Amino acid sequence: MLYLGIDLGTTYSLVAYMNDHGQPTLFPDYHDANEFRTPSVVHIGAEGCYVGATLEGILDDEPELSQARFFKLQMGKPAAVYQDHLQRTWWPQALSALVLKKMLHDVEAFAHDEIGGALITVPANFNDAQRRATREAAQMAGLTHVKLMDEPVAAATFYGLNRKGAEQTLFVYDLGGGTFDATVLQAGDSGLYSLATEGSNQHGGIHVDAMIMDFILDEYQRQHGIRPNDETSLMILRRFAHDTKLALVKPGKTRVGKTFLLGGKSIEFVLTRELFHQMIEQFIDDTIAVCQRCLDAAGLDWSFVDTILLTGGSSLLPLVPEKLARISGRPVDQLVCKQPHQAVAYGAAILAAQQFGGGGAGPKLQSICAYDLGIRVMGKDQQPTVKVLVAKNTPVPASARMTFYTNRADQTRLIIEAVQQRDTSTGLEENSLGYFAFAIDNPRANYPLEIELAYDLEGLVVITARDPETGRQIRQLMDAQTEAMDNALLAQQPWVEAMRINP
């Protein structure tokens, strides 16, 4: 039986397993046994569906070809992000399913065992809708036994492979292709326990690429008075920006220059490492600020951290270890950067073997929730507000129960809306998980209703509503069915039939 660990990434995806020697191993690409990463890019056209490196090769010659990229960042949003040659629209989870199916094809080419389960990693700051969309993508790809795990936990698991000793506090700096997580964990022989996490979906390698693209476009406009925005030019720019970033993180590379055509006009481009560092300094400072918020949430300072782990390909940006070393007060060479491109996939493979293959054997894992979880209620000022029942950074599984009351004597139903929220550097981030209605057969003033909110082990949300007088109960997983009800309920002004905290 084969148990897969999958890093479903913004720019690249990887799939791994535990080999006969007990070491995590990547599956290679079906067409190139020396390539172990699948670019998360999809094209659907008259010739069929192309995914990954095969498509990247085609784009070298046909940059104008339609393509879908970075759809991981749109997971959980109820909107299409790509249209194929038949004008069919594709949602992010469907595109992610195609990437997963491609990787499963790679697995089948190099292994003949039946797949017994797959553990897919997600950013620690993914909300409920994003996690559900990831699970839906796995189901669409044909994976029937799936578990989700936070990426920093997977990276820390790989770091701890074959490592025994005293308990230590780990800090994981995970800067990937499109997302950033900062997580504090306690590690020891007994298990791995998350203490606090913070994150951002606005910090990743693609955002660095965008800065380089803007720099080139500004120079192009200065020279030619126009700013090209056609898809072919932007495709060429995106790939060049990505290659430029990779070149400037290599030791000894101090500048990148090139002359190329955009929109029928040439431009000579030079970017030095010094200018590159000036360009991304605020970006890195923003991630350091997230790190500090994470430590504050854990009630710790840097002196309590034993090991700082750098993972995710973008953690190789030279300014990252420099600034982390400065704020943590330790030498750069004490920061651990252990195979940052592969660490999450390797950790996922270790966890998959433990959780699917070992009957739960292995060290205990304790994840936490990245968002406050609450119910929208009518406040004292007759304005909607959120009553938090499960606080952010609570270990999961977690649940909390509270009794709410109707607003009017003739109220025949309660509209229940679950909400996830967290404070970020830009203010309060809020995600509605959807609505459902609970009918009241014999309404009266201040009719009570018990609401229980729960996070399961994978960070997914379940709501239970119970009428204490009749015993009737509804258990609701916030899924596509509740989302389909949203528009209908919203059109009926749900705040007229909301709840309040006090009778």
Start-to-end CA distance of the chain, whole Å, equals 56
Let me know how many helices (H) and strands (E) the chain has, helices first.
10, 26
Radius of gyration of the chain (CA): 24
- What's the pLDDT score for residue 372? 95
Q: How many CB atoms lie within 10 A of CB 311?
A: 29
Strand 427-439 versus strand 413-424 pairing type: antiparallel
Per-residue pLDDT of the chain (503 residues; tens, 9 = 90+): 899 999 999 999 999 999 999 999 999 999 999 999 999 999 999 999 999 999 999 998 888 899 999 999 999 988 999 999 999 999 999 999 999 999 999 999 999 899 999 999 999 999 999 999 999 999 999 999 999 999 999 999 999 876 776 789 999 999 999 999 999 999 988 889 999 999 998 899 999 999 999 999 998 898 888 888 888 888 888 988 999 999 988 888 889 988 878 878 888 888 999 999 999 999 999 999 999 999 999 999 999 999 999 999 999 998 999 999 999 999 999 999 989 999 999 999 999 999 998 655 567 888 999 999 999 988 777 778 899 999 999 999 999 999 999 888 888 888 888 999 988 766 788 998 888 888 888 888 889 999 999 999 999 999 999 999 999 998 877 665 555 455 555 545 554 566 678 76
- What's the pLDDT score for residue 361? 55
Question: Do the beta carbons of residue 326 and residue 221 sit within 8 Å?
Answer: no
142 Rama sector, left if φ>0, alpha if ψ -120 to 50, beta otherwise: left
- What's the pLDDT score for residue 362? 64
Fold agreement (2-203+280-366, 372-497): no
Domain ranges of the chain: 2-203+280-366, 372-497
3-state class (DSSP) for residue 151? helix
- What's the pLDDT score for residue 491? 47
Domain 372-497 is of which CATH architecture? Sandwich (2.60)
Structure tokens at 503: 């009778």
**HSE value, Cβ hemisphere, 13 Å, CA-based, for 181:** 30
CATH code of the domain made up of 2-203+280-366:
3.30.420.40
Cα distance between residue 126 and residue 180, in whole Å:
11
* pTM score above 0.85: yes
Cα distance between residue 208 and residue 303, in whole Å:
30
Question: Do the beta carbons of residue 427 and residue 444 sit within 8 Å?
Answer: no
**HSE value, Cβ hemisphere, 13 Å, CA-based, for 113:** 10
DSSP symbols for 420-476:
EEEEETTEEEEEEEEEEEEE-SS--TT-EEEEEEEE-TTS-EEEEEE-TTT--EEEE
- What's the pLDDT score for residue 492? 52
3-state class (DSSP) for residue 126? coil
**HSE value, Cβ hemisphere, 13 Å, CA-based, for 210:** 10
Q: How far is CA 391 from the centre of its chain?
A: 20
Structure tokens at 245: 């970033």
